[in-house]
Structure 1
Amino acid sequence: MRTAGHAEWTKLRTDAANGWLVLGVVVLTVAVGATVAMTSRCDAVGCGGDPTRLSLTGVLAGQVVVAIVAVLMVGNEYGTGMMRTTITAVPRRPTVLVSKAAVLSAVMLAAGSVSVLGSLLVGRIVQPGRGFTAAHGFEALSLTDGPTLRAAVGSVLYLVLIGLLGLGVVVVVRNSATAIGIVLALLFVFPILAQVVPDPDWQRHLQQLAPMTAGLAVQTTVDVDALPVGPWQGLGVLALWAAGALAAGGWLLEARDA
Structure 2
Amino acid sequence: MTAGTPTPHRPRIEREGFAHLLRAEWTKFRTVRGWVIGLVAAALVVVLLGLVSASGSHASCGIGPVEVTCPAVPVGPDGEAVEDRFFFMHRSLAGNGSITVRVTSLTGIITYPPPNHDELVPGVVPWAKAGLIVKEGTRQGSAYAAVMVTGGHGVRMQHNFTQDTAGRPGGVSTASPRWLRLTRTGDTLTGHESADGTRWTEVGTAHLDGLPATVQVGLFVTSPGDLTVKQADLGGSIEQVRFTQATAVFDHVDLRGDAPGGGWNREAVGAAGTTDWERHHRPNGVRESGGTFTVTGTGDIAPLMDGQPVERTLTGVLTGLILVIVVAVTSITAEYRRGMIRTTLTAGPRRGRTLAAKALVIGTVTFVAGLAAATVTVTVGEQILRSNGNYVLPVTVLTETRVVAGVAALLAVAAVLALALGAVFRRSVAAVITSIMVIVVPHVLATVSVLPETAAQWLLRLTPAAGFAIQQSIPEYAHVTGHYVPQAGYYPLAPWTGLAVLCGYTALALVLAVLQLRRRDA
TM > 0.5 fold call: yes
Establish whether residue 176 from structure 1 lines up as the match of residue 428 from structure 2: yes
In structure 2, relative to structure 1, the CA distance for the partners of 1:37 and 1:193 (3 Å cut) is: closer
Aligned to 1:19: 36
- Structure 1 residue ranges without an equivalent (≥5): none
Aligned to 2:515: 251
Aligned to 1:115: 373
Aligned to 2:461: 208
1:105 shift after superposition:
1.5
More strand by share: 2
Residue-by-residue CA offset, 1:188-214 (whole Å, 9 max, x unaligned): 33245555554x5443211212322x2
Instruction: Name which of 75, 87, 93 aligns with 2:345.
Output: 87
The Cα RMSD (Å) is 2.0
Contact 1:63-1:159 within 8 A present in 2 as well: yes
**Distance in 2 between the 1:145 and 1:2 partners?**
36
Alignment of 1:1-258 (within 5 A): 1-43=18-60, 48-133=306-391, 138-139=393-394, 145-191=397-443, 194=446, 195-198=449-452, 200-212=453-465, 214-225=466-477, 226=484, 227-258=491-522
Aligned to 2:70: none
**Distance in 2 between the 1:37 and 1:175 partners?**
38
**Distance in 2 between the 1:49 and 1:239 partners?**
31
**Distance in 2 between the 1:196 and 1:13 partners?**
40
Give the letter aligned to residue 364 of structure 2: A
In structure 2, relative to structure 1, the CA distance for the partners of 1:217 and 1:175 (3 Å cut) is: same
Contact 1:218-1:232 within 8 A present in 2 as well: yes
Query: SS of 2:371's equivalent?
Result: helix
Give the letter aligned to residue 138 of structure 1: L
Residue-by-residue CA offset, 1:104-148 (whole Å, 9 max, x unaligned): 122112101111111112213211112234xxx734x8xx52321
**Distance in 1 between the 2:444 and 2:378 partners?**
28
Query: SS of 1:67's equivalent?
Result: helix
Contact 1:5-1:103 within 8 A present in 2 as well: yes
Contact 1:132-1:138 within 8 A present in 2 as well: no
Query: SS of 2:393's equivalent?
Result: coil
Query: SS of 2:492's equivalent?
Result: coil
**Distance in 2 between the 1:196 and 1:28 partners?**
25
**Distance in 2 between the 1:104 and 1:178 partners?**
19
Q: Which has the larger radius of gyration?
A: 2
1:42 shift after superposition:
4.1
In structure 2, relative to structure 1, the CA distance for the partners of 1:103 and 1:30 (3 Å cut) is: same
In structure 2, relative to structure 1, the CA distance for the partners of 1:189 and 1:18 (3 Å cut) is: closer
Residue-by-residue CA offset, 1:162-209 (whole Å, 9 max, x unaligned): 1011011000000111111111111233245555554x5443211212
1:224 shift after superposition:
3.6
Contact 1:31-1:58 within 8 A present in 2 as well: yes
**Distance in 2 between the 1:211 and 1:33 partners?**
23
Query: SS of 1:157's equivalent?
Result: helix
1:247 shift after superposition:
1.2
Number of aligned residue pairs: give it: 250
Contact 2:22-2:358 within 8 A present in 1 as well: yes
**Distance in 2 between the 1:94 and 1:188 partners?**
27
**Distance in 2 between the 1:206 and 1:190 partners?**
6
Segment drifting more, 159-168 vs 18-27: 18-27
**Distance in 1 between the 2:384 and 2:456 partners?**
35
Q: Percent identity?
A: 33
1:232 shift after superposition:
0.9
**Distance in 1 between the 2:443 and 2:43 partners?**
25
- Structure 2 residue ranges without an equivalent (≥5): 1-17, 62-72, 74-303, 478-483, 485-490
Contact 2:329-2:428 within 8 A present in 1 as well: yes
TM-score, reference length from structure 2: 0.46
**Distance in 2 between the 1:11 and 1:2 partners?**
14
In structure 2, relative to structure 1, the CA distance for the partners of 1:15 and 1:93 (3 Å cut) is: same
1:23 shift after superposition:
1.1
Compare relative contact order (CA 8 Å, sep 6+) and give the higher one, 1 or 2.
1
Give the letter aligned to residue 467 of structure 2: G
Give the letter aligned to residue 347 of structure 2: A
More helix by share: 1
**Distance in 2 between the 1:138 and 1:153 partners?**
19
Give the letter aligned to residue 60 of structure 1: L
1:223 shift after superposition:
4.0
